[in-house]
Amino acid sequence: MLSTLSAGAAVASLLFAGAVSPTAPARAGTEPPAGQITIDVATVNGSGCRPGSAAVAIAPDNTAFTVTYSEYLAQAGKDTKPTDSRKNCQIALNVHVPQGFTYAVAKADYRGYAALAPGANGLEQASYYFQGDSDTGRKSHTFTGPADTNWQTSDETDVSALVYAPCGEERYFNINTELRVNAGTSDPKTTSYMAMDSTDGSINTTYHFAWKQCPATR
């Protein structure tokens, strides 16, 4: 079970007590550290994640964290406005790790629901970067109508291409996601949408950590 915390506050903390699961090693690099880890949610901005509509949780084995959305939806077609067709959310996280360790995000799993009329299409896109650096990666996935189903995508980075946070420095880790829907050639009497949420709030996004020990300092 993941413990959750509302991201509507300017700064919130997620605490981990210290147990490491021996059956769930980190995806890449060394195994996760056993010390306390906290994630401060510094900022949450965007048309897809109004204050109070996103929550962040950390896995008890330190291998992943999850973002859950309740209002993240883009739509186009009948009874929609042009601004409804594109929604985004940028979350800045400050990840505090035990001394001597650093981290990268090796994989991101996205889930949601798509209802696209014939001729309509949708896009899910995400980019990741540390404060002061350029994007570590921008990945996109396209969807075409007709569709009326749950969707899931994954962005995965090769071990050799992982970008780790600088050792001994605290920098925000930024995640910028986006949903777009285009009515295209669909019947103008129809409405198409893509959501990164659900009516019961169970749809979420999971980010998987990779850990590395920092070089010893003299």
User: Rounded to whole angstroms, how far apart are CA atoms 26 and 74?
Assistant: 34
Residue 42, classified by CB atoms within 10 Å of its CB into exposed (0-12), middle (13-18) or buried (19+), is middle
pLDDT on residue 20: 28
In the chain, the amino acid numbered 138 is R
pLDDT on residue 169: 83
Cα-based distances in Å from 99 to 16, 35, 203, 212: 15, 9, 34, 11
pLDDT on residue 36: 67
Among 115, 120, 97, smallest CA distance to 182 is for 120
Enter the tokens of residue 12.
């919130």
Cα-based distances in Å from 189 to 76, 82, 110, 130: 11, 16, 29, 43
pLDDT on residue 9: 31
List, run by run, the mean pLDDT of 10-residue segments along the chain (218 residues). 34 28 39 74 88 81 83 96 96 85 88 96 93 75 96 85 84 92 97 76 74 80
Other C-beta atoms closer than 10 Å to the C-beta of 192 total 31
